[in-house]
Structure 1
Amino acid sequence: MRTDTARPAIALASGGGRGVQGRGHARTGRRARRRVNPLPALVLLLFAAFFVLPVLWLLLAATKTDDQLVHNNPLSFGSLHALRANWHALTGYQDDAIFTWLRNSAVYSFFALLITVCVAVPAGYALAMTEFRGRRTLLIATLVVMLMPNATLVVPLFLEVNAVHLIGSMWSIVLPYSFYPFGVYLTYIYFSTALPRELLDAARLDGCSEFGVFRLVALPLAAPVIALVGFFGFVANWTNYYLPYVMLPQSNQFPVQVGLGTLLDSVPQFNPTAGSLEVQRPELALATLLAITPVLIVFLFAQRFLVAGMLAGATKD
């Protein structure tokens, strides 16, 4: 009897051991599944280094003399004295030309952006929410123009602006900048996917005109896409080089991008015929930092709206 009663206990103990062993294998399997593949993280790290290192070099280059820039460690800090000397040399170039160029860029970009928002948002709303003859053709034409490189449009734009005698004026830059098909496409996508048509129909039933529906209902809900169009339009205007280079003949009319090209032509290492108005490479790096600072400031203030605009319509209830 003692032997018979011991057998179930032994069987239970062995079964419990197998159960514990099975749970141990399950935990080991879960640990194996939890192991993260390091390859994606390594690829992201390589891409981050590819983009971060040049920016870091640019920041440090402004703190060095030209000799230190060539012979010292590329990622070493120079000195505050060299930074001040580069600043004084840059601001003294052609009687503070760098500030004139920055002011011109701000004026051109602001006026063009104002017109862009006033035109692109209603156009995108009309393409998304109304039906009219030629709507599909107009949308296709917007996409085609959006895909064309800006440099291909410089010559026809020059001929058009020259025909109305605006070459050399501020409007020769502002008006072509204001035509921003990518902004029209962004607002079209936003209103098509993120704005409920039932809400607009309810406003129409309450007696709103089509313009009233747009102004009172659609426009207040379009803050994310307006910020998105504004940011991309500002960046496109600020970084445009070819159009101002062709349209503006005088140095005091240049935006900062064309001004950077002038500075580059004055660096002896890039242009041996630079003459007396020589610019050293650290000064050029400092000018580049000044040129990108406004874009960074705009991005920092607008990033919350940018994220909301880019995610609009991504999910539906």
Structure 2
Amino acid sequence: MGSIIRWAILLFFALYFFIPLYWLFVATTKSAPQLLELHPLAFGSFERLQEAWQRIIEYQDGEILLWAMNSIKYVAWGLSLSLAISIPAGYILAIARFPGRHLLLWLTLITMLLPPSALVLPMFMELNLFRLINTQWAVILPASFFPFGTYLTYIYYASSLPRDLLDAARVDGCSEVQLFWHIALPLASPLIGLLAFLNFNTNWNNFYGPYVLLNDDRLFNLPVGLQQFAMATSALRPGFNPSPGVMVGYQQAEAALFGLIMVIPVAIVFLFAQRYVIGGAFTGSVKG
């Protein structure tokens, strides 16, 4: 009986998360009338899906492809820089003893708890000081700012890294750099996987920062591109009289397909990284 209840709960949550994704997919196969007339989970036609794909590819001469490449570039740079900064920083805060260490920990924790919108204005002023507004670095540099990664790394190393192992390595002649590179870093592979996924997910779906810091549509990422697409076309308002300048002929299927393009990479990355994500979620919970 207990096993049946457990499987029923798992099935419920699986359907709870799967059905919205499935609806998003089948919405790309339907015309606007079919979205209202057919069953919400009924499949439309592959011809409508191909038509929707062709329409968004033709939008602004294929600008969605440029936005996708920008998203990949911002995520790759932000992920690389954030891991290169947050993991060594968390390790040093956990292992080293120096004046101001506790102050840095408190500042990291406070910054981590602040909503991203509260940091946009200071970032804007700082980036504007260096004339980086409306450049790719206006997105990449804030994307590398990952205080949660630093704090989680600190918790992991402070609670799970055996100090006797480090002392033995020092006796054998290892430098501090070798300790980190050959001992501490390999032991934290589940943590690194978790941080990489969280940072990827955050930067891939980053809307507010690029929306404020960029005004050149050739630099937009996919979330900002979707907003521009929704505002410039009739995709989300096919039944209304178009405003001046709005591109007509687009339907909800195009907007759904645009959203699906944004969701698929996150789902694929999670499927490949779930072992590290689940393992990293328990980092620091067991004393090493």
* TM-score normalised by length of structure 2: 0.91
Give the superposition deviation at 1:43. Answer: 6.8
Q: What does residue 145 of structure 1 align with?
A: 111
Q: How does 1:275-314 map to 2 (within 5 A)?
A: 275-278=245-248, 279-314=250-285
1:239-272 Cα shifts (integer Å, max 9, x gaps)? 1111101111111110001001112213434484
Q: How does 1:11-50 map to 2 (within 5 A)?
A: 36=2, 48-50=14-16
Q: How does 1:1-317 map to 2 (within 5 A)?
A: 36=2, 48-268=14-234, 269-270=236-237, 272-273=242-243, 275-278=245-248, 279-316=250-287
Distance 1:236 1:312 in 2: 20
Of structures 1 and 2, the one scoring higher in RCO (CA 8 A, sep 6+) is: 2
1:163-217 Cα shifts (integer Å, max 9, x gaps)? 1101111111111111100111121122122221111111111122222211221
Maintained 8 Å contact 2:135/2:214: yes
Maintained 8 Å contact 1:69/1:282: no
Unaligned segments of structure 2, at least 5 residues: none
Give the superposition deviation at 1:40. Answer: 8.0
Q: Secondary structure at the match of 1:313?
A: coil
Distance 2:204 2:38 in 1: 33
Maintained 8 Å contact 1:265/1:274: no
Rg (Cα) greater in structure: 1
Distance 1:248 1:48 in 2: 38
Distance 1:49 1:300 in 2: 17
Partner amino acid, structure 1, of 2:129:
A
Partner amino acid, structure 2, of 1:169:
T
Maintained 8 Å contact 1:143/1:181: yes
Identical counterparts, % of pairs = 44
Unaligned segments of structure 1, at least 5 residues: 1-34
* TM-score normalised by length of structure 1: 0.83
